[in-house]
Amino acid sequence: MANTSNTEVKCVKCKNVYEAEVIDHVTLDEDRELIKSLRTGKANRVQCPKCKKVMFLDRSVVINFEPENRIVVYDPSAKKKTDKDQLIADYNSVVSFNETLSEIGGETEFSVVSKLDELKGLLKEYEKAHS
């Protein structure tokens, strides 16, 4: 099951502010049904309860490509190299916290993608290898 959280959303149509559940983290070997939503950029679909406007939120999703020891952060807003470098630095800070995490971090390929086409390619490769 994907890890989710609640976030505040402002409807682009009626300006209503509401809370919606969004996906923060997906482990592909456990959440295979989400691959299509990720591939189409529709993983974080929300609907305004007032006017029923459907929106797709551009927010980061951590994708764990198990069993490949690969973690990808898909963040459509991380277009600049400095944005991607900051996410990588944050990851390195977490995995350097203790010896166990350092070991796991050393065995895990970590990357940041901001383009949906790049994410689609990674998901397609994963599906071929694990279908």
**pTM beyond 0.85, yes or no:** yes
15-56 pLDDT, tens digit per residue, is: 999 999 999 999 999 999 999 999 998 899 999 999 999 999
d(CA 28, CA 8): 26
Mean pLDDT of 82-92: 93
State how many domains the chain has. 1
Its domain, for residue 21, covers: 3-129
48-68 pLDDT, tens digit per residue, is: 999 999 999 989 999 999 999
Confidence (pLDDT) at 104: 80
Confidence (pLDDT) at 103: 84
